[in-house]
Chains A and B, each alone.
Chain A
């Protein structure tokens, strides 16, 4: 699904640029669809660069595919504009990372959990690098705050048999569930957990840093309500830039269609690229990279710009709760775009860790776990 959303968004951005007076050039899109087959990304990019003489490549959703492309763009001095959030710990000169770094999505979500929900958490995720690394960060923050990882359950990518894990959750009643499942696994899990908690009369908060609007629709209008999500973009962001974007999106893709963070991020990739080319007066990679650095773009998700220190973007972290109508209601956003920290080298665990002790509010929350047993 994401590949389709990303392609739609890239083409929309290209059409807007080509139809705009603000740019004295047009983009010609060369499309390749490796279809999620990891080895095919290498071939597709090789072909784009050699045959089509492409300078800039927009795409890749998974880290596995990006790792295929990086050697080629580095060897041939091209730029990959990467829209997806990822687990961090990478910084190629030939990639512009437009998706969220872990400090943009994982850290605020865990912090919110510790402050407002619980310090003990049950983790479930898909068995691949993004979950492994996200869980590691969750574990590090939670344990340094005195909380516990109650379980870490993994499902193979695409696996939809989730009942055994849902049963375990109902039995153990964790105060929070941190979900890093992706795709169908996640939808099946959220549906099954919703049904089981309803039946058992439980309310177990579920947190995700990947859930987006089109996925709420796929999960179902009832089961998808009440999830806590962390993202740099939600369709419900206020402000004229996003309202206009959503209107253009719906005009183009239908009133029932909803933009999502990965699509929007792809749109932002193309826009950042166009603006950098305009500023550089050339599409040459070195000039574009220099021009993109610190060049602010007021995007539908707010101001975005590339941090030349690590080629990742300043983004505004946001937290939201899913509501009826397959939408998210934003309840927190950072005061300003946050500097990307792909290696989490500025994560101050002691600050996050002592938060529980310092905050009276959290202390009360915490004491709720203590019951007098006679």
Chain B
């Protein structure tokens, strides 16, 4: 899968969650210039489902931090936070949303493109990191299985622990599979699988 470029923003969909018309018009005009589609959402309302949104431009000051809408903003689309009030209580709320980037008010036409690029890039990195993390967690989960397979191999072939592991690893490489998968096979079949088909 090729990595989508964060620099190409044309055609991406933005949801604008802002209160003040003067600021909305700055954002709308700039997003239109960049070829993005723009939808608006009333900050007083609870957040909409976000499957049709690529980025959310949110005026942090427009949402009371202790309110139902404030608690409901747990979305997957990256958020660009527009910040007017730099109080820690406000920033704490914002941090919980994990904004992908931010802009300081008052808004100008400059800056929004950078915020978008940073948001798309960090959202992409977040997806990749999450996938990486999941792979690592899978491996941690299968450590018990690998350990069980090593013990079984030690007993079956009368090997030391390093030798048993080396055998499993070499077999896994030969079979073009992972140590974890081979370990699962060893446990279910009760021994080293006797594969003849080599994919190499």
Give bound CA distance, A277 to B32, whole Å: 47
CB distance from A82 to the nearest CB of B (A): 15
CB distance from B63 to the nearest CB of A (A): 12
Report which of A67, A128, A132, A135 forms a contact with B84, defined as CB distance below 8 A: A67
Given known A39-B20, A71-B106, contact A135–B64 (CB-CB < 8 A): no
- How many residues on the A side are at the interface (Cβ–Cβ under 8 A)? 19
B65 within 8 Å of A (CB atoms): yes
Determine if B22 and A129 form an interchain contact, defined as CB atoms under 8 angstroms apart.
no
Report which of A71, A87, A88, A127 forms a contact with B66, defined as CB distance below 8 A: A127
Contacts of A248 in B (CB 8 A): none
Determine if B22 and A42 form an interchain contact, defined as CB atoms under 8 angstroms apart.
yes
Please name the 5 residue pairs, one residue from A and one from B, whose CB atoms are nearest each other, closest first.
A71-B106, A132-B89, A136-B89, A133-B87, A89-B87
Residues of chain A whose beta carbon lies under 8 Å from any beta carbon of chain B: 39, 42, 63-64, 67, 70-71, 87-90, 127-129, 132-133, 135-136, 154
Contacts of A64 in B (CB 8 A): 61
Determine if A127 and B20 form an interchain contact, defined as CB atoms under 8 angstroms apart.
no
B67 within 8 Å of A (CB atoms): yes
Given known A71-B106, A129-B90, contact A63–B64 (CB-CB < 8 A): no
Determine if A67 and B87 form an interchain contact, defined as CB atoms under 8 angstroms apart.
no
Given known A42-B22, A71-B106, contact A128–B64 (CB-CB < 8 A): yes
Determine if A133 and B89 form an interchain contact, defined as CB atoms under 8 angstroms apart.
yes
Residues 1-51 of B at the A interface (beta carbon under 8 Å): 20-22
Determine if B87 and A129 form an interchain contact, defined as CB atoms under 8 angstroms apart.
yes
Determine if B85 and A127 form an interchain contact, defined as CB atoms under 8 angstroms apart.
no
- Other CB < 8 Å A-B pairs besides A39-B22, A70-B106, 19 of them? A39-B20, A67-B61, A67-B84, A67-B105, A71-B105, A87-B87, A89-B87, A127-B66, A127-B67, A129-B61, A129-B87, A132-B65, A132-B87, A133-B88, A133-B89, A133-B90, A135-B89, A136-B88, A136-B92
Listed by A's residue number, 16 A-B pairs whose Cβ atoms lie within 8 Å are: A39-B20, A64-B61, A71-B105, A87-B87, A89-B85, A90-B86, A127-B64, A129-B61, A129-B85, A132-B65, A133-B87, A133-B88, A133-B89, A136-B87, A136-B92, A154-B66
Contacts of B65 in A (CB 8 A): 132
Q: Is the interface of B mostly helix, strand, loop or mixed?
A: loop
Residues of chain B whose beta carbon lies under 8 Å from any beta carbon of chain A: 20-22, 61, 64-67, 84-90, 92, 105-106
Closest to B92 in A: A136
CB distance from B28 to the nearest CB of A (A): 17
Determine if A89 and B66 form an interchain contact, defined as CB atoms under 8 angstroms apart.
no
Q: Which of A70, A71, A88, A135 has the most CB of B within 10 A?
A: A71
Give bound CA distance, A67 to B61, whole Å: 10
Give bound CA distance, A128 to B63, whole Å: 10
Contacts of B66 in A (CB 8 A): 127, 132, 154
Determine if B20 and A132 form an interchain contact, defined as CB atoms under 8 angstroms apart.
no
Give bound CA distance, A71 to B21, whole Å: 16
Determine if B89 and A67 form an interchain contact, defined as CB atoms under 8 angstroms apart.
no
CB distance from B81 to the nearest CB of A (A): 15
Contacts of B85 in A (CB 8 A): 63, 67, 89, 129
Contacts of A127 in B (CB 8 A): 64, 66-67
Contacts of A90 in B (CB 8 A): 86
Give bound CA distance, A87 to B61, whole Å: 14
Closest to A125 in B: B66
Contacts of A128 in B (CB 8 A): 64
Give bound CA distance, A314 to B139, whole Å: 60
Give bound CA distance, A71 to B84, whole Å: 11
Contacts of B106 in A (CB 8 A): 70-71
Contacts of B90 in A (CB 8 A): 129, 132-133
Give bound CA distance, A127 to B85, whole Å: 15
Closest to B84 in A: A67
Give bound CA distance, A88 to B84, whole Å: 13
Contacts of B84 in A (CB 8 A): 67
Report which of A70, A89, A132, A135 forms a contact with B86, defined as CB distance below 8 A: A89
CB distance from B40 to the nearest CB of A (A): 17
Contacts of B67 in A (CB 8 A): 127
Contacts of B61 in A (CB 8 A): 64, 67, 129
CB distance from A8 to the nearest CB of B (A): 29
Contacts of A88 in B (CB 8 A): 87
Give bound CA distance, A42 to B88, whole Å: 26
